[in-house]
Amino acid sequence: MPSFDRPPTVIGCPIPANTPHAVSVTLPSWSANVAYEEGQDWVVGKMKSGYPRFFYHEKISQLFRFVEEKYGHEGETAIIFPSYKIACKCRTYMKRLTKITDPNIRVVEVTVPPPSKGVHANISVVFFPSEEAALAKSFWQHAGDGVSSRMAEYCLERLKSIDAHKAEKMSIKESFKSAPHTFKRYAKKMLESPSVTASSEDESDESREFATYLEERFGRNLDISFVQQVKVALRRRIAGTLEDNLDVSQVLESAPQETTRDVEGLTEDDVFLYPTGMSSIFNAHQLVLAVSEPLKSVCFGFPYLDTLKILSKWGPGVHFYGNGESEDLLELEKLLEGGEKISALVCEFPSNPLLKSPNLRGIRRLANKFDFLVVVDETIGNFMNIHVLEYADIVVSSLTKVFSGDSNVMGGSLVLSPAGRHYEKLKAAMAKDYEDNLWAEDAIFLERNSRDFASRIRRINVNAEALCDLLLHHPKVKSVYYPKISSTRQYYDDCRTEDGGYGGLLSIVFHKSKHAPEFFDTIETAKGPSLGTNFTLLCPYTVIAHFLEQDWAAGYGVDPFLVRISVGLEPTNELVETFLKALNKLD
């Protein structure tokens, strides 16, 4: 059981504290969350960290400025991606949505020497008119395919190092012209030395220093040279074919087990890694568009905000069934019976933040009858608690959340179900178009963090149920949203694994709206965006996710004063006491 320090309370500091690549950020009061959404300086001006898709990490911003100064033109701003293909998608997106007539949006590829053989480190820079910075950032947010903070850190240091070597060479050359004969011999040796040759990767002092740096930095992580084994281990862990406690450095020499997931024949070759969970969703939608007719998709249930944005902004459009209830499924069936065709149905299982579980059996029946794809986001339920592959064609998940737990790295996965009727077509499309843009260092952190995934899930399930029981019976609490007590529990149970629980996410609404800010400000837990952390983390969900559309969200049952609770690994009695203490302070 990990130890738990007092949660950070200073506005804008990272969660976890003192974590250079933290995923969450401290917004310790209700008013601070509102001020953040309004862009007030007393909060935004103190932000040293933020959720990576919404807030540019310091190293990313520095890399932006570096390439702007080196390659940019007057009036241009840069945004950076780990591949040329993604950069081109960003350019296409911006040209489609910009209000500027014939804007000059260009892509520049920058070669960065890799830290190890087989590791891709090149970056692609999109330069655009500075007044379109918000549009560029919206692509970064929705697609989730931007360069990671660790990759930015590496590229920035490497590019600066190369420039320093070039400057040193120029200085030596200038000295060489006017130097005495004896110095010229020494200077010539310096010019020929690998230590000042930027292209030298194997024998230079810089390479040795970098290897030492990696070893010291990663500690109990594997060395970056093991990244191929690490990614296979990640894919096998997600496929349910990795032996517990296997020495990951030997994973390529070991045979995978039979899958513990719910479809036969699943292997790591059906699992694809992405730099963020949203990237896996974005690319799942791109995959649907690639293999289907140009038809609208369906978003079933109230989803995390960017999922609906993706379905709306790319492709022919979306039918939105925001309640995700049985009545919605009947309405969808009527639509299909009337002749409407759709390319895919996308849903979360269960949904965030209302924890509703869609009727996957009913959805699969319609998919078979009307020939559309089913995409299920299992992030909240996770595959230790639920089995959804038998009902889906594509299953996506944010590895940033409970799979990692440590809140210090981003990642996502996409799994193709061998049981799906369109499996071969999807597999062929992935073979043609997939590119692995998960940065090597991020993969290493994900592998390390996920080694105890199964045991953490069991502990979190216990804690969440204990909190659910407390909140359900407390007189100040009006509603508790949790799969175990949901009106859609039967659909969750249809997919629950033999020893699976109901997950670590729940939401509450108070009888009195004023109690939500009072409770949030009082409770002694970490407070910020994200979920699935090893520590309990709260956020005023509707404020942080739907600040400018709260009335719209309320129309689908998402209360403006809803508090979302991501349950951690704290001792159960201490966690319950923490919540009870805050509840008892309400008048």
Q: How many domains does the chain contain in total?
A: 3
pLDDT for position 202 = 37
What secondary structure letter does DSSP report for 321?
Answer: E
Q: Region 113-136: what's the mean pLDDT? A: 94
Of 104, 134, 151, which residue sits at a domain end? 151
Percentage, residues of the chain above pLDDT 70: 90
CA–CA gap between residue 29 and residue 42 (Å, rounded) = 13
439 and 491 both lie in a single domain:
no
Task: Clarify whether residues 423 and 461 are in a common domain.
Answer: no
Element holding 485 (H helix, E strand): none
CATH number, domain of 134, equals: 3.30.70
- Answer yes or no: do 271 and 315 share one domain: yes
Residue range 30-34: mean pLDDT, rounded: 98
Structure tokens at 486: 């949901």
- Residue 141 has which token pair? 């947010």
The answer on 459 and 358 residing in a single domain is no
**429 and 463 within one domain:** no
Q: What is the CATH number of the domain that holds 572?
A: 3.90.1150.10
Residue 91 lies in a domain: yes
Whether the pLDDT of residue 518 is over 90: the answer is yes
Q: Which two tokens stand for residue 68?
A: 């702007």
Do 435 and 480 belong to one domain? no
| Residue 112 maps to a domain | yes
Is residue 208, in this structure, part of any structural domain at all? no
- pLDDT confidence of residue 163: 82
Residue 181's pLDDT is 43
Task: Say whether pLDDT at 210 is over 50.
Answer: no
Question: 133, 151, 169: which is the final residue of a domain?
Answer: 151
Lowest mean pLDDT among 34-43, 162-171, 469-478: 162-171
What does the alpha-carbon distance between residue 254 and residue 265 come to, in Å, rounded to a whole number?
A: 18
For residue 350, whether the previous peptide bond is cis, meaning omega lies within 30 degrees of 0, is yes
Whether 420 and 303 map to the same domain: the answer is yes
Q: Is position 514 within any domain? A: yes
Reduce the DSSP state of residue 314 to 3 states and report it.
Answer: coil
Residue 206 has pLDDT above 50, yes or no: no
Q: Give the pLDDT mean for 11-23.
A: 93
Contact 535, 7 (CB under 8 A): yes
Is the residue at 343 inside a domain?
A: yes
* Lookup result for tokens 């990759």: 151
Instruction: Give residue 512's domain range.
Output: 454-584
The pTM of this model reads 0.90
488 and 431 fall within a common domain: no
Q: Are residues 508 and 565 in the same domain?
A: yes
What mean pLDDT do residues 67-89 have? 97
What pLDDT does residue 205 have? 47
Strands (E), 9-146: 14-15, 24-25, 76-81, 106-110, 123-129
**Is 241 a member of any domain?**
yes
Q: Of 416, 450, 484, which closes a domain?
A: 450
User: Is 131 inside any structural domain?
Assistant: yes
> Residue 261: which CATH number?
3.40.640.10
For residues 398 and 459, state if they share a domain.
no
**pLDDT on residue 409:** 97
Q: What SS3 class is residue 31?
A: helix
In a domain, 36, yes or no: no
Contact 507, 513 (CB under 8 A): no
What pLDDT is attached to residue 217? 44
- Write the DSSP string, 170-216: HHHHHHHHHS-HHHHHHHHHHHH-GGG-TT--SSSHHHHHHHHHHHH
- My answer on whether 421 and 492 are in the same domain is no
User: At residue 3, does pLDDT exceed 80?
Assistant: no
Q: Which of 64, 189, 197, 76 is nearest to 129 (CA)?
A: 76
pLDDT at 167: 67
The least confident of 235-249, 300-314, 548-562 is 235-249
Percentage of residues in the chain having pLDDT higher than 90: 82
User: Are residues 254 and 284 located together in one domain of the fold?
Assistant: yes
Residue 32's pLDDT band, with cuts at 50, 70 and 90, is very high
Question: Could you read off the pLDDT of 242-271 as tens digits, one per residue?
Answer: 977 777 878 888 889 999 998 999 999 999
